[in-house]
């Protein structure tokens, strides 16, 4: 069991946030292109092209998780693994991993370590602009351009694992 896990996304709220100190206090799970700037122990890439870049770039001490749809294409890389199965079943869109993005899968990987707490950094549900569409700190990458995380897709992965009760959580502006 890992005491603490930090799941690091690429939302604009992470801009200027130094994640380096988290390495000494938590197990870090990074999303997509984060491996370009930081040496990570775990990285999650739900997009096949991003997984290919990570496999060609990171060292053998970094475990890369990808969706089952792509996993077999990377089977000859010993550090590429399939994301864990969902810990629940449901009949809604958010219960189907086909609709999940890297952020949701990274949170799922984080829960697989059975930590006492998970910290989500740069996992923007809403943007800062007037349209409130989240931006990505790595928008130069084709695979990084669609950054919208659905609250309905992120919360079940953590909520169903009974790590946290989300009933008292609301956005900073009270809109949810």
Q: Could you report the per-residue pLDDT of 60-102, keeping only the tens digit for each?
A: 999 999 999 889 999 899 999 999 988 888 898 888 888 888 9
* 53 is a domain residue: yes
* 92 is a domain residue: yes
* 175 is a domain residue: no
3-state secondary structure of 117: strand
Say whether pTM exceeds 0.85.
no
- Residue 19 · residue 43 · CB < 8 Å: no
Secondary structure letter of residue 87 according to DSSP: S
How many domains would you assign to the chain? 1
**Look-up: residue for tokens 């000494």?**
24
Q: Which is it for strands 117-121 and 63-66: parallel, antiparallel or unpaired?
A: unpaired
Q: How far apart are CA 109 and CA 112, in angstroms?
A: 5
Q: State the residue range of the domain holding 80.
A: 4-168
Q: What is the strand order of the sheet 80-82 is part of? A: 80-82, 63-66, 42-44, 27-31, 4-8, 117-121
Looking at the predicted structure, is the pLDDT value of residue 108 above 50? yes
Least confident residue range of 12-21, 72-81, 141-150: 141-150
* 176 is a domain residue: no
Give residue 171's pLDDT band: very low, low, confident or very high (50, 70, 90): very low
Q: Which residues are 28's β-sheet partners?
A: 6
Q: How far apart are CA 67 and CA 83, in angstroms?
A: 6
* 99 is a domain residue: yes
Looking at the predicted structure, is the pLDDT value of residue 7 above 60? yes
pLDDT of residue 50: 95
Looking at the predicted structure, is the pLDDT value of residue 124 above 90? no
Helices (H) and strands (E) in the chain, counts: 5, 6
* 148 is a domain residue: yes
* 160 is a domain residue: yes
* 93 is a domain residue: yes
């Amino acid at each position: 069991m890992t005491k603490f896990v930090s799941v690091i996304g690429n939302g604009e709220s992470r801009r200027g946030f130094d994640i380096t100190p988290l390495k000494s206090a938590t197990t870090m799970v990074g999303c997509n292109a984060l491996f370009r700037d930081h040496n990570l122990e775990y990285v999650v890439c739900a997009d096949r092209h991003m997984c290919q870049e990570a496999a060609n770039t990171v060292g053998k001490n970094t475990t890369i998780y990808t969706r089952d749809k792509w996993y077999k294409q990377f089977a000859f890389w010993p550090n590429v693994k399939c994301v864990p199965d969902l810990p629940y079943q449901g009949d809604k869109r958010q219960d189907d991993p086909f609709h999940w993005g890297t952020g949701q899968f990274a949170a799922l990987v984080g829960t697989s370590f059975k930590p006492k707490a998970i910290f989500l950094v740069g996992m923007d549900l809403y943007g800062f602009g007037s349209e409130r569409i989240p931006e990505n700190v790595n928008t130069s990458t084709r695979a990084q351009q669609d950054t919208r995380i659905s609250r309905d897709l992120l919360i079940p992965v953590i909520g169903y694992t009974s790590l946290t009760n989300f009933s008292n959580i609301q956005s900073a502006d009270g809109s949810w």
